[in-house]
């Protein structure tokens, strides 16, 4: 079973490994402590002390606060609220819903028809980091991507209690 050092995992996280190495890492069995190593790297990169329980995506985490509550946090420390709620409802949202707004990022005739699809860009209110983009029909509700089962993940996948 392969085991990767911190430097290799940091390069993987930062997108700095060549594709052939990334593919080999993705295709091989995971070392048993990979999750802990990755969380340790992520934890060392944020300016806050709340414990990261699970990364949700680039720049987003479920973190445990000293009082036992669990929140969604950005790299910068902004708290989007309870981890079971849709964090996007607390984000800044920019909607590309016109030809002009679409052409800010796409060449003419290479974007979707804004009458059929709009792009919703979600940003952290504090650091303004773009956290996600959705392509949805106009008027469609904000999508709650997923709500992980933290207890099961820790108990059945990591074989330990949720901190």
Q: Summarize pLDDT for 23-70 with one digit per residue, the tens.
A: 999 998 888 889 999 999 999 999 999 999 999 999 999 999 999 999
What long-range pairs does 12-17 form, CB within 8 A, spacing at least 24? 13/38, 13/41, 13/42
Number of domains in the chain: 2
- pTM score, two decimals? 0.90
**97 and 28 in a common domain:** no
Inside any domain, residue 54: yes
Contact 95, 139 (CB under 8 A): no
In this structure, the answer to whether residues 58 and 134 fall within a common structural domain is yes
Q: Pick the closest to residue 106 from 58, 114, 123, 142 (CA basis).
A: 114
Q: Are residues 117 and 149 in the same domain?
A: yes
Identify whether residues 15 and 93 lie together within a single domain: no
In a shared domain, residues 73 and 132:
yes
Shared domain for 79 and 109, answered yes or no, is yes
Q: Enter the tokens of residue 97.
A: 């819903």
pLDDT at 17 over 80: yes
Give yes or no: residues 125 and 52 share one domain.
yes
Asked whether residue 52 falls in the same domain as residue 119, the answer is yes
Same structural domain for residues 38 and 52?
A: no
Structural domain including 70 reads 46-157
Residue 162 lies in a domain: no
For residue 80, with 0-12 CB atoms within 10 Å meaning exposed, 13-18 middle and 19 or more buried, which class applies? buried
| 107-118 residue pLDDT tens | 988 999 999 999
For residue 65, the model assigns a pLDDT of 97
Beta-carbon neighbour count of residue 97 at 10 Å?
15
* CB atoms near residue 4 (< 10 Å): 18
Write down the pLDDT at residue 82.
97
């Amino acid at each position: 079973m392969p085991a990767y050092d911190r430097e290799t995992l940091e390069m993987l996280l930062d997108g700095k490994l060549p594709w052939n190495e990334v593919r080999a890492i993705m295709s091989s069995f995971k070392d048993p402590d990979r999750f802990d190593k990755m969380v340790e790297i992520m934890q060392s990169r944020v300016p806050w002390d709340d414990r990261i329980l699970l990364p949700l995506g680039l720049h987003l985490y479920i973190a445990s606060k000293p009082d036992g509550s669990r929140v969604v946090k950005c790299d910068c420390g902004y708290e989007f609220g309870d981890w079971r709620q849709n964090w996007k409802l607390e984000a800044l949202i920019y909607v590309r819903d016109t030809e002009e707004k679409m052409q800010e990022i796409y060449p003419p005739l290479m974007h979707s028809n804004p009458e059929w699809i709009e792009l919703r860009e979600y940003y952290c209110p504090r650091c303004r980091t773009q956290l996600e983009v959705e392509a949805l029909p106009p008027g469609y509700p904000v999508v709650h991507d997923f709500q992980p089962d933290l207890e099961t993940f820790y108990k059945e996948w990591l074989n330990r209690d949720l901190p």
